[in-house]
Each structure stands twice: as C-alpha cells, then as structure tokens.
Chains A and B, each alone.
Chain A
C-alpha cells in the first residue's frame, strides 16, 4: 500500500489552516478580554467548597440562608413552590452564569457565547478544530492506517483533543475564559509540529501494525488532551489564587485586568479537577491497553521500557495529586503543584523520552 500523496498534501494544508485559525481565535479571545463590555464572571458563593466549609459553619450558613431566603421569598404558596424551589436551588442568587460558576450546569440558553469578540473567538476555534479533524482524517486516509504513528501525528492528535475539550468545557460549563490560555500552548505546539517535528506520511514498522494502536494510542491521546486542559486551568488557578491572596492581604492586585474575566480560584480548581477525573481513568485504561499490546508484541506486559516507566511515573504523580486533594493540608496550592508535576512528567514522557532515550517506543520519526 503506497501513500496517497495528494491526500497527504491536503492534510498538511488543513493542519496549517488550523494553526492559522487557532492563532486568530487566540487573538479574538484576547480581544474579548480587552474590549468586551460585559463581565461574565459573577461573584460566586461557592458554599460547597471544602476551603470555605472548613473555615467554619458561618460561610455555609450564610450561603444556605441566602439560598433559603431566595427560595421562600417566591414560594408563598404551595403551588409555586415546585418551580421556585427548583430555580432557587439551581440558580442560587439567580444571576446568569452563576450556576456554572457554582460548578453546576448552565441552562441551554446561557451556554452559548455572548458578545462579538467571544463569538468570533469561539467560532474560529470551532472552525479550526473541524479543519484539524479533516487534516487528521486525510492523513489517515493517505496512509491507510490510524494516523498516530509518530511524534508529528501524535502532537497533531493531542492538540486536537485539547481543543475538543476546550470547546466542550466552554459550552458545558460556560468556561469561555479558558479559551485564550488553552489556545496559546496549542498554537505553540502545532507551530513546532508543522515546522520542526514534521514527518512525511509513511508506513508503520511491524511492531505498530496492530489494532491495538487504535485502542492504546487513542486512549493516550484522549487522556493527554484532558491533561493539557487540566494543566492550563491549574496554572490559571495558581495565578488567580495568588491574586486573591494578595487582595486578602490588602496588597494591590497585579493582574486585575485579566482577573476580572476569571472566576474565583475555587471554580478553576474544580474545573481542573474535573478534567483529571476524566483523564486519570482514561490514562489508566491506556496504560493497561498498552500492557496488553506489549504482551502481544514483545512478549511481556510490563518491561520497564523508558516510555513505560514514565507513563507509570506520570500515573503515580497524578495519583499523588488525587490523594493530596483528599488530604488535609495538601489541598489547594500544594495539590496544584503536584498536578503540574504530573503534567511535567507527561510532557517529559512525550518529548524527553522520544528525543533523548532509545527504547522500544522509539517511533518518534525524528533523527
């Protein structure tokens, strides 16, 4: 089976177009921050969050009381109780976006972006991700195989997954504020991908010729996309948390211009945690699928190959993060640092191991 050159060329053009669209989307997100008149982020009252609850019952009490007041105010008779109680519980004080800010889901109408720049940014991102999916599809068709055989293809796939996560999170949790911060690393990685890391379309070495590539590598790609967004949001959390601490200490905010667009740190923390709740089981599955494949291909399910070792290290560090979040004194910033350490391990596994170490997983296609 020979590589279909014209399809491979189409793929290259589409990926290039996707990079341009993402870059424009990134600029539009920045313009939204700079020019948009509406500030979408309400002051949330995150009653359920451990940091506040552990401070004492006062925070919970006031939040509960306000919510109860909102409920009873509209519910003077029993017939009205049903709808009012429900909306009071779902919307808290009732401002749009509050439900999302509280970690709840926004209603259908308030999910979509508002304002010219945000709509433009989101539209460009969506068109970009579709273009990138076309690029990946045509690449696969040109090679008659799943297009995750080398580092170039893998980076194209994980950045695409990261943008898919961005789009889904934007709509589902109304988290449009992460757009700029997710697109920055995506554009950077893709720019390197199409220039330095580029590998022409080609065929697979025998060890990769297995249906397990579709299972194992796909799981790793999905997990990586989620991990990327999780790490970006964690960085945002750390910055927002520092800002909040400065304000609490009576110091002037250094990043008020950006901060006004971001939700409270606890909400960022929760969003990043959500991404890990998805990513960690998928990663676990991917490592297991890899072990089964390794057993088929190399005769052992675990052999401490450098790539295996680092996927194990990554798994352990993310497990540390999950444990740290459950341990008093480790939540918040400390857990966030562990989260970023896990992400650093992931990136080292992707870049460092591919480029520096020779092992059974040396498929990067770079010499």
Chain B
C-alpha cells in the first residue's frame, strides 16, 4: 500500500501535468493552493489529478492574504469556466442588437423605432457591445486568469524537463492496465530488457531494485501551454492593431481622385497612437467601374462581378501604377489594404438659378436603399442659388418600370434610369455651424415647392416655380466605396492563430502515460514479470492498444533474450538508452 503513496512534495511536483485530461482546459492548482492531500494514492492523482480543491477561504488574513486568496480564486478553473461562459453570453447581444461599429444606420433606425428603450440600451453600451467596458472586463479577467494559470505552469514544465518519472508502485496489478507473466530470464535481466524496449520508444526511464518506471508524452503539456499562450498573444495582436492601426472609408466617383489624408477620407478611425502624419501618403484615382449582373432566371439582378480600374501612386511624384480592384482582391499599397465594399450611382445635375447663373454642376452620390434594384436616395444642395438656396431630395432608379402607377427599379444596372426629385427652397442651414450630412436635407428652414412630380430621364430638365431657375438631369456616373485599413497586428495575429492551432492539435494528439515494470522471483523459482500502465490523460481512449503493443514487444524482447542465452543480456548498442538510464537510476529500495 505504501508503494501507492507519494510524499506531498512529490505530488506537488507532479502537478504540472495533473489536469491535462482535456488539453485545452488543463489547469493545475497553484503549487501552494489548499492542502495537498498527502495520502491520496498516485492512481487517483493520475486519473483524477485535475481535481481541484475549492480555494480555501481567507480566515483572519491580512491584505496579502486576501490578495493571495483573490488571485487563487481568479486563476482557479471554476472561475475560468464561469468567465468563459460569461464571454459567450456577453457576445449574444452584439449579434441581436444593431451595432455602431457594424451598421450605424441600423442603430439610427433602432433609435427611431424604440425611442424609450434605445437610450437605456445605449447607457449599457449595448450598441457597441464589443467595445463596452463590461465586455472588456470579462475578457481581461479571463486572460488574467489564463496568464495566472499558464505562466507558472510553463515554469514548472521547464523545471520538470529533467525530472524523473515516479517510482514504480509496489503492486502493479492495482493499476488500470496490468499484465503479469512468467519469464525464464533473471529478474534483473528481464527488467533491463524491458527498459531497453521502452528507451527505444523514447520513454523517460527511472529504475530501481527490480523495477523500472517509464513516462512519455510531455509534449501534451507543451501543446496545451502553447495553445493558451498563443491566445494571449492573439489578444495582444488585436491590441496592437487597435493602437497602431487605422480604418477609413472613402466614397469615390468615377474620374475622381483622393489622397490618403484624414481630410480626404469620409470616415477616419485612427488607433490610439495614430497621428495624421502616420498615414501612408498614397493617392488613388478611379478610372472606370463596371458591375455585371445575372440577366435571367431566378437570380435576376444578383451581382456577378465588380471591376474597378484604379490608378495609384505610393507617394506624390511616385510612379503611377494601375490595379484592377475586385472583391476578394484588395489593393495593397505601402502595407495598407484598400477594398471595394460598395457601389452605387451618382446622378449629375446642372442647376441654373433665378438669375440665370449656373450655380451647380456636379455628380451627386446617391446611396442604395435596396440591393435588388439598386434604388438609391440622395440630396442635392445648392447653397449658391439666389434668391433662395435650393435643396432637392431625390430617388434614382437605375431601371425604372411603372408598376401600378408607381415607378420602381427592377434591375441594378442603369438600363433605363430615372430620377425623381422633391424641391425645396429657403435656408439650407449650412452656415449655422452645425455639421451636416451630405446625404440629408435639413428641412427646418426650407419650404417645399409645389411641382407636379415628374421623373426625369437623362437629358431632361424641370423648371422651378416662381422663377427660381431650372434643374437639368444631365446623366449619371458610378461610384464605389473603399475601405482602407492598416493593421500592424494582422501578421502577429495570424502567427498566434497558427501557433494556437498547432498547440491544440499537439495537446489533443499526445497522451501522457506511464509504464511500470517489475520482475521478481516467483515461488517456483521462475521469474514473474509484472507490467502496469497508466494514462494520465486518456479520456479519448487508445492507451489500451499502445499498452498491448508495448507488452507484446517487451515480452517478445525478453523471449528473444532468453533464447539467445540465459545469462546474455543484449548488447548495449542494440537499443541505445537515453542518458538518464541507467546511470541516473534510483537504486534505492523502498
């Protein structure tokens, strides 16, 4: 019975591997947590070694004691489990409630639809869940818990690299897998032959008087720790991207150009430590844009391909290159990626005011409000018109078809475009100092002019009442919207991801196991060989076969040795043993 017991100290040193039943989840108690139950048999330790005592509550402890207790609570597996659950639950609202960072328009709609509920949700950051303080609290606590568990274990793994397996238990038949058979070899030779077989299979060995203990599978813990450390590195990579990277959007009408400066970008979201001077000084011109669509069948109007012919230069004065920008084929310029994320139409208008001056001649991007027909809405602001400023709110229909008295667009390509406008006159409010959206008309100081609504085809114009002037719909251009991202954390994130996956696979595939061999003279003088096997992490099974194979090999080698001559032990060169065998063998009896 004593053979199954190990002193508390020995058990503690075993702990780095304890709990690696599920590699992803393996966690050991901090070395000084709780009281190591010295009397626990090693079998129980190995098979259920990941049993964790509930951290002992602080009784009459000072500040240090409380801190230690809190740290133990934080790094305990139960806490990690709860935090993981919380992380999953906390992510749910982010997929149900519209998010600022993903679809700001949907958030605006939500505000309109739920005027009382929306401010309450906003107070709890539910429109930006993944940037919310409480979400950050959960994952930071989780990662603190992870670090608190993984880092000490890494040190212990390094420490255990030179550690020998535990002694063989006295009674091997108590092990989960055990075999006993007779051999004609002398006990010492039988053990030695077994040791050579195990050493040849790269087991780590420890030998004693009539026994040998072998252990293998330390890579499991290596993979396990690699996985968890890689997750920490992944979080750090995401952080690097958020601090040193930036995201921007730019709507670009065919024929137009822009330079990569904050003022030229429609949306610019810099990382915390990004200044305008950090922006890569490239410039892009949109030469042509072509969209093709399915023209028949049930998928009529579904886009097939978008091609944007760009010309770009990495810096002012640098050579100009061209690029055919498509979905899934971003332009990478100076480490910055440029993507096409949308497209639409920009009808061109010429406005002549009451005084007969041309006060407006531009293509105005309209925003698609429906994808199948690409019906788009937009506004035209003519602040220079006299006597009153003019504003138009319009709808652009690429392929207009009369459906029961209403025009609607049935196809996204501009086969038969029409534009329909509502005209306002008055004060556009552009000088009030308030920032205005170019896609919205502030009608507070505008009056609607009474004009019979008449959709305009390209080339047509309408006369505004009261001598306010004329508006001509001269044609249309296409525009694309570009996403511009610079993320220096991307490559570290990719490397972390690959490392995490490698660690995961390693920890799932390798099993940590021990083989014990004992040989002694039996009552009839023949040698009795006992083999015992113990998998310390084998919930998925498979150790039985390995044990059977090893048993067959050991027994076979012993038979071969017996046939070669009862006193001959195999030449040392046959099966080179690692350095720690047998020189480091513990030859003490028990």
Binding site for B on A (CB under 8 A): 47-48, 50, 53-54, 56-57, 60-61, 63-65, 67-68, 71-72, 75-79, 81-90, 99, 102-105, 200, 202-203, 205-207, 209-210, 212, 270, 273-274, 277, 280-281, 284-285, 288, 291-293, 295-306, 309-310, 312-313, 316-317, 319-320, 322-328, 330, 345, 353, 357, 359
- For B529, give the chain A residue with the smallest CB separation: A81
Using Cβ atoms and an 8 Å threshold, which residues of chain B touch A210?
328
* Residues A323 and B102 in contact in the complex (CB < 8 Å), given A78-B562, A86-B548, A90-B548: no
**Distance A57 CA – B341 CA, assembled complex (angstroms):** 64
Contact of A78 among B43, B50, B180, B559 (CB under 8 A): B559
A-B Cβ contacts below 8 A, count: 282
Taking CB atoms, residues of chain B closer than 8 Å to A48 are 47, 176-177, 535, 538, 541, 543-544
Instruction: List, in ascending order, chain A residues with CB within 8 A of B20's CB.
Output: 326
Report the Cα distance A297→B552, complex, angstroms: 55
Task: Report 25 cross-chain contacts, Cβ distance below 8 Å, ordered by A residue.
Answer: A48-B535, A50-B47, A72-B181, A72-B182, A77-B182, A78-B182, A83-B552, A85-B555, A86-B552, A86-B555, A88-B179, A89-B551, A90-B548, A102-B541, A103-B542, A281-B501, A284-B504, A300-B485, A310-B95, A316-B88, A326-B19, A326-B26, A327-B25, A345-B88, A357-B96
CB nearest neighbor in A for B339: A299
Q: Which residues of B contact A102 (CB under 8 A)?
A: 541, 544
Residues of A contacting B545 with CB < 8 Å?
Answer: 90, 104-105
Residues of chain B at the chain A interface (Cβ within 8 Å) = 4, 19-27, 41, 43-44, 47-48, 50-52, 77-78, 80-81, 84-85, 87-88, 91-92, 94-96, 99, 101-102, 129-130, 172-185, 238, 247, 294, 297-299, 302-306, 326-330, 337, 339, 341, 483-485, 487, 490, 493-494, 497-498, 500-501, 504-505, 508, 529-532, 535, 538-545, 547-549, 551-552, 555-556, 558-559, 562
Distance in Å: Cβ of B62 to nearest Cβ of chain A: 30
Choice from A61, A209, A300, A304 contacting B173 with Cβ under 8 Å: A61
The 8 Å CB contact of B505, one of A209, A270, A281, is A281
CB < 8 Å neighbour of B81 from A71, A87, A320: A320
B498 neighbours in A (Cβ, 8 Å) = 288
CB distance from B302 to the nearest CB of A (A): 6
User: A277, B508: Cβ atoms under 8 Å?
Assistant: yes
- Minimum CB distance partner of B535 in chain A: A48
What residues of A have a CB within 8 angstroms of the CB of B47 in the complex? 48, 50, 53-54, 60
Contact (A89, B544) CB under 8 Å given A78-B562, A203-B302, A324-B25 = yes
Query: Within the assembled complex, what's the spacing in Å between the Cα atoms of A68 and B528?
Result: 12
Q: Given A63-B176, A89-B177, A270-B541, verify A75-B95 contact (CB < 8 Å).
A: no
Give the shortest distance, in Å, between B547 (CB) and chain A (any CB): 5
B555 in contact with A64 (CB, 8 Å)? no
Q: Is the CB of A297 within 8 A of B304?
A: no
A54 CA to B46 CA, complexed, in Å: 10
A304 adjacent to B130 (CB under 8 Å): yes
**B552 in contact with A85 (CB, 8 Å):** yes
CB distance from A340 to the nearest CB of B (A): 14
Are A53 and B81 interface neighbours, CB within 8 A? no
Q: How far is the CA of A78 from the CA of B102 in the complex (A)?
A: 73
From residue A286, how far is it (CB to closest CB) to chain B in Å? 11
Question: A273-B539, A305-B102, A309-B91 known; 4 other A-B pairs, CB under 8 Å?
Answer: A205-B303, A284-B500, A300-B485, A320-B84
A303–B339 CA distance with the chains assembled, in angstroms: 15
B81–A301 touching, CB < 8 Å: no
Interface centre among B185, B302, B305, B552 (most CB of A within 10 A): B552
B337 CB to nearest chain A CB (Å): 6
A82→B194 CA distance, assembly (Å)? 13
Determine whether the beta carbon of A320 is less than 8 Å from that of B88. Answer: yes
Residues of A within 8 A of B88 (CB): 313, 316-317, 320, 345
User: What is the minimal beta-carbon distance from B252 to any residue of chain A, in angstroms?
Assistant: 15
**Given A54-B47, A327-B81, are A203 and B501 neighbors across the interface (CB < 8 Å)?**
no
**Distance in angstroms between the alpha carbons of A64 and B564 in the assembled complex:** 32
- Complexed CA–CA distance, A77 and B183 (Å): 7
Residue pair B179, A85 in contact (C-beta under 8 Å): yes
**Nearest 4 CB-CB pairings of A with B:** A103-B541, A323-B25, A86-B552, A89-B548
Q: Are A281 and B508 in contact (CB under 8 A)?
A: yes
Shortest CB distance A265–B (Å): 14
Query: Which of A56, A68, A200 has the largest number of chain B CB atoms within 10 A?
Result: A68
A61 to B44, CA, bound (A): 12
Complex contacts, B81 vs chain A, CB 8 Å: 320, 323-324, 327, 330
Q: Given the interface contacts A90-B544, A103-B544, A291-B497, does A53 sit within 8 Å of B22 by beta carbon?
A: no
> When chains A and B are docked, how far (Å) is the Cα of A273 from the Cα of B551?
27
Given A82-B552, A82-B556: A303 touches B102 (CB 8 Å cut-off)? yes
Whether B298 pairs with A202 at a CB distance below 8 angstroms is: yes
B327 touches A297 (CB 8 A): yes
Give A301 to B327 CA distance when docked, in angstroms.
15
Bound CA span A63–B22, Å: 24
Nearest-neighbor residue (CB-CB) of B183 within chain A: A78
Decide if B52 touches A327 in the complex (CB within 8 Å). Answer: yes
Query: Roughly how many angstroms separate A313 CA and B48 CA in the complex, as a whole number?
Result: 29
Cβ B44 vs Cβ A57 within 8 A: yes
- In the complex the two chains form, is A323's CB within 8 Å of B173's CB? no
What is the CA–CA distance of A262 and B76 in the complex, to the nearest angstrom? 37
Measured CB to CB, the closest approach of chain B to A114, in angstroms, equals 22
Interface centre among A50, A285, A291 (most CB of B within 10 A): A50
Interface centre among A65, A309, A353, by most chain B C-beta atoms within 10 angstroms, is A309
**Contact check: which of A50, A78, A281, A322 meets B25 at CB < 8 Å?**
A322
